[in-house]
Structure 1
Amino acid sequence: MLFISWLARPSSEYQASCLKHILPESFNYEEKHRNATEKAPFSNQFSEELGKDGYTLSHSRVRIGSGLQAYQKGKQLLNKWGHFQLRWAWVESSTCIKVGQKFCVCSQELVPWILMPLQILYVNDHKSSNDIHPSPSYNTVGLRNVPNIPNLKAIYCFGSGTLQGHLLAGEERFSVELDEDDNVWYEILSFSRPAHVLSFVAQPYVCLKQKIFAQQSTQAMLKAISERGV
């Protein structure tokens, strides 16, 4: 099952019709890895387990501003999918950020648009430093023994799991963090593996597109916050 729009940018109605064909809770990856990104940083053992199961870890973390105002605006951008409004890849900005919400990532590959369904697994909005740990995901991408990682004053994040019909299998997490030095960070953390013959054959291309997305998504966040006077 693969959802494609050959002639035009997929309308919201077409996306909704595609999602109707997906059964509830029809994730295309193992239940034992469900919600794993919420539990980052991963242990070495779990990271090795993901690797043995064929998953590739991807990570990007960039400072996008400073101060509470920048953090709040970063949250607003995530809530409006401002980080996912690229020319070639986007999510409907009206999509609600809530647990159980299904949505499509629309990605243009040469001519056709491919619709890739996901479901939001969790939404976390922590504001008390008492229940905030050092910034998530450092241990998931080979960054061992990183010195002077500050505790976080606040973090807002949500994670999504891939559904049947997605070219990949795995999870992706987006977060905005405010650390104790008032730096604001935008972070993308994901693990994925091919779930379709197309993504298997073109795996190097898929990895390249993930890197391009992380770069352009970060640039979009930086530009949006800058334009708002932060």
Structure 2
Amino acid sequence: MPTLRLPFTPFYLGPPSEEERAAVEASTARLPFTFPHPGVTQAAPPLPPETASEGWTLDHHKVQVGHGCAAYDRARCLLQQWRHFDLPWASTNAPAVKPGAGVVVTARTLFAWSCSPLRITYAEECPLRAGQLPPWAPAPPPRPKGATQLHTSCGGAGGGGGCSGGGAAAARGAGGRAHQRQAEQVATMRPPKGRRYAFAHTTLEGHTIKGEERFSVAWNQDDDSVWYEIYTLSRPASWVTTLAHMLLRAYQRKFAQDSMAAMQREMAAAGAGKR
């Protein structure tokens, strides 16, 4: 039986039915992107200056999940199995991770549910790029009090620790300042030595936001650490999500924290199974 949908919104008053989720999944093959720069996260951070200057909300979260080549291989498999999205309040249709695959994110927020379409823009495994900040790089130094900046968080391998780089870069020009700081940071670093597996999905018409989200795991061959990373550009896609922007931001932060915790949990379970 179809779930009641709120008029002129992407929200449902209950979990979308299997038929409704299947219809959204089928639509991902024909729906247009709502983000104007598909694939831009592939070489970020930093972003290209022209993208950074557009004032997208930038979120960058990372957490250490293990050590060594075997841990990197496990983390890559978990990412391909969508275990980073195995959350009590959010899930996906878990398609094969390849460019062009349609993704449907079903999520519960307070009293409402959403069923949002995306398409995988790229999937790759390669050495870390010169000129790209690796996930283990420290957050750029904070701006003076009152300056809007990129939101960054990180956690230790134990799962409890974290650090915050401040508020979101939502105002026009803030993305440019974050880009400048990241470019300066890259200029002082030697080329990273490591490997990364990454893929991104980009929003389609009908999603609650506009943007792109990259998930990646990376192996730092200098100290053997393995990292899980989420890098996101976004903004509200409709008047409804614009009005509920503070709530939207709270759930974006909740997703990042819950996803990092899920990867740490899955990595610990996978490691225990290997012994």
User: One fold, TM greater than 0.5?
Assistant: yes
User: Is it true that 1:8 corresponds to 2:49 in the alignment?
Assistant: no
Q: Is the Cα–Cα contact under 8 Å of residues 28 and 118 in structure 2 kept in the other structure?
A: no
Q: 2:215 aligns with which of 174, 180, 183?
A: 174
- Shift of the 79–149 alpha-carbon distance from structure 1 to 2, 3 Å rule, reads farther
- Which residues in structure 2 correspond to 1:139-154 (within 5 Å)? 141=150, 142=178, 144=182, 145=185, 151-154=192-195
Deviation at 1:10, TM superposition (A): 4.1
Cα displacement (A) at 1:154: 1.1
Q: 1:203 to 1:8 in 2, by over 3 A?
A: closer
Alignment partner of 1:226: what SS? helix
Question: What residue in structure 1 maps to residue 3 of structure 2?
Answer: none
Correspondence 1:20 to 2:21: no
Match of 1:39 in 2: 43
1:116 and 1:165 in contact (8 A); partners too:
yes
AA at the equivalent of 1:8? P
Would the alpha carbon gap of residues 3 and 195 (structure 1) be closer, same or farther in structure 2, given more than 3 Å must change? closer
Residues 149, 227 of structure 1: alpha-carbon distance in 2 compared, 3 angstrom cutoff:
farther
- The 1-side partners of 2:190 and 2:82 are apart by 28
Shift of 1:109: 1.9
Which residue of structure 2 lines up, in the alignment, with residue 107 of structure 1? 107
CA distance in 1, matches of 2:13, 2:39: 33
Shift of 1:186: 0.5
Q: Which runs of 4+ in 1 moved over 4 A?
A: 1-5, 136-140, 146-150
Q: Secondary structure at the match of 1:187?
A: strand
Q: Which of 195, 218, 222 is the aligned partner of 2:264?
A: 222
In structure 2, C-alpha distance between the alignment counterparts of 1:153 and 1:114, rounded to whole Å: 37
Aligned-pair identity (%): 31
Deviations 1:2-44 (A, max 9, x none): 5544343543x431212334562511122xx221101212257
Runs of 5+ in structure 1 lacking a partner?
A: none
User: Which of the residues 182, 201, 204 maps onto 1:163?
Assistant: 204
- The change in CA–CA distance for 1:183 and 1:211 in structure 2 (over 3 A counts) is same
> Is this contact kept in 1: 2:109–2:251, CA < 8 A?
no
CA–CA distance in structure 2, aligned partners of residues 34 and 74 of structure 1? 25
Between the aligned partners of 2:105 and 2:266, the Cα distance in structure 1 is 21
Alpha-carbon separation, structure 2, partners of 1:149 and 1:113: 45
CA contact (8 A) 1:125 1:156 kept: yes
Q: Which residue of 243, 254, 272 maps to 1:212?
A: 254
Secondary structure of 1:50's partner? coil
Q: 1:46 to 1:66 in 2, by over 3 A?
A: farther
- Give the structure 1 partner of residue 74 of structure 2: 73
Contact 1:170 1:193 (8 Å CA) reproduced: yes
Question: Which range moved further: 153-162 or 14-23?
Answer: 14-23
1: CA distance between counterparts of 2:29 and 2:120?
15
Change (3 A) 1:56 1:39: same
Count matched residues.
Answer: 220
Is contact 1:132-1:152 (8 Å) kept?
no
> Is residue 214–residue 232 contact of structure 2 (8 Å, CA) maintained in 1?
yes
8 Å contact from structure 2 (residues 202, 212) kept in 1: yes
SS state at 2:64 partner? strand
Deviations along 1:28-69, one digit per CA (max 9) or x if unpaired, are 122xx2211012122572354231xxx100110111111111
Question: Separation in 2 of the partners of 1:179 and 1:212?
Answer: 27
